[in-house]
């Protein structure tokens, strides 16, 4: 599930993204209202968490714009404003939930889970991804190749999931970086190559071909006929 955080406090945004990523959400971050709205209007996120006070465009205005576009997105407003009238303004702008700062990350996670259950269409998410003998079980969060279990780190899992969701497509290093490490703008693009090598070692099966193909000058591709 993809979550967009629109928050100008970069430290808080990084912490929120890290916490959500550890729970296996795919997280993207924007630090001003205009950039955040542009990303939200792409319609690729299931949940958008938006701060009230933002440069460029405030949270309620972003909520109204998203609702005007009739996108099936769950919206959560973050704010230091806890008065009743502020809650009414926020909810009337189209927000589905309202979280007052400071908050515990456990509450944030619980609210995101509730929103994702509420807005997920029945059967919209498969229980597993399967390419050849390579299987990711999205419910139990386990992976295997054939009968062999794969012990993947969270980053390796996200990388393999992205490759499997885009099987046979050539993905650039930048695309992979943006998807897998979207919450951390300090990560260097060379880390993509490092984690591809880690993943290759774990996927390696004697006498079988490497399922990850290096696309010279571009990036990488998972080939269905190699697994």
**pLDDT, tens digit only, all 227 positions of the chain:** 789 999 999 999 999 998 898 888 889 999 999 999 999 998 888 899 999 999 999 999 999 999 999 888 999 999 887 677 777 888 889 999 888 888 889 889 988 988 887 766 555 556 788 999 999 998 788 999 989 999 999 889 989 988 998 888 898 898 888 778 765 557 788 999 999 999 999 999 888 889 999 999 999 999 988 88
Ordered alpha helix ranges (H), the chain: 10-22, 33-40, 59-68, 84-92, 105-119, 154-165, 173-180, 190-203
Q: What are the φ and ψ backbone dihedral angles of 72, each rounded to 5 degrees?
A: -80, 70
Closest CA to 223 of 181, 167, 172: 167
Asked if residue 127 lies in contact with residue 91, where contact means CB atoms within 8 angstroms, the answer is no
Strands 134-137 and 142-145: antiparallel
Q: How far apart are CA 91 and CA 182, in angstroms?
A: 28
- Preceding peptide of 102 cis, ω within 30°: yes
- pTM assigned to the model: 0.57
CA 21 to chain centre: 7
Which of 83, 72, 18, 19 is closest to 48 using CA atoms?
72
Q: Give the integer Cα–Cα distance in Å for 186 and 162.
A: 21
* Among 175, 188, 154, residue whose Cα is nearest residue 220: 175
Q: Residue 94 — φ and ψ, nearest 5°?
A: 120, 0
> Would you state the structure tokens that stand for residue 64, as one six-digit string?
């109204």
Domains of the chain, with CATH numbers? 2-119 (3.40.50.2300), 128-226 (1.10.10.10)
Answer yes or no: are the C-beta atoms of 171 and 162 closer than 8 Å: yes
d(CA 30, CA 40): 10
């Amino acid at each position: 599930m993809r979550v967009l955080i629109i928050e100008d406090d970069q430290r808080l945004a990084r912490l929120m993204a890290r916490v959500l990523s550890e729970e296996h959400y795919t997280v993207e971050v924007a630090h001003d209202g205009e950039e955040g709205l542009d990303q939200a209007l792409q319609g690729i996120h299931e949940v958008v968490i938006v701060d009230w006070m933002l440069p460029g465009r405030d949270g309620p205005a972003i909520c109204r714009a998203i609702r005007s576009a009739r996108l099936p997105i769950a919206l959560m407003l973050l704010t230091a404003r806890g008065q009743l009238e502020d809650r009414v303004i926020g909810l009337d702008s189209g927000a589905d939930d309202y979280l007052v700062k400071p908050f515990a990350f456990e509450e944030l996670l619980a609210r995101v889970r509730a929103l994702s259950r509420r807005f997920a269409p029945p059967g919209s998410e498969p229980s597993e991804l399967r390419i050849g003998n390579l299987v990711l079980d999205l419910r139990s969060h386990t992976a295997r190749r054939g009968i062999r279990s794969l012990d993947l780190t969270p980053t390796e899992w996200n990388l393999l999931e992205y490759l499997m969701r885009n099987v046979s497509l050539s993905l650039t290093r930048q695309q992979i970086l943006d998807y897998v490490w979207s919450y951390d703008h300090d990560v260097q693009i060379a880390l993509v190559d490092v984690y591809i090598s880690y993943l290759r070692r774990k996927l390696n099966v004697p006498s079988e071909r490497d399922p990850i193909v290096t696309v010279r000058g571009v990036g990488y591709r998972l080939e269905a006929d190699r697994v």
